[in-house]
Amino acid sequence: MARGAGAGELAGVPTKRGPVRRVADPRDKRIIELERERTRWQQRAERAEALVELQKQMAALLGTPLTTETS
């Protein structure tokens, strides 16, 4: 008797090979989407802060006072 024949493994039903498929959770997709969006907003805020700093430095070099609007 061949190895595994007694357990029905060789009865003509092929066993699936390879990694087991994972069912994707829609919440995981949403989490990834929100993390990407948060990263984009953080980068945008950093660029805006850098621009404000650059404007301050240029105003100081040119001797132009910055006017700040208060609402």
Residue 30 in any domain: the answer is yes
* Tokens representing residue 18 in the block: 């390879």
Structural domain range at position 36: 24-62
pLDDT of the residue at 11: 63
7 compared with 15, residue with greater pLDDT: 15
Residue 41 in any domain: the answer is yes
Residue 19 in any domain: the answer is no
Identify how many contiguous H helices and E strands the chain contains and give both numbers: 1, 0
pLDDT of the residue at 23: 82
Number of domains in the chain: 1
49 compared with 9, residue with greater pLDDT: 49
CB 9 within 8 A of CB 15: yes
Residue 71 in any domain: the answer is no
pLDDT of the residue at 40: 98
- pLDDT digits over 13-61, tens only? 677 888 888 888 889 999 999 999 999 999 999 999 999 999 999 999 9
What does pTM read for this prediction?
0.54
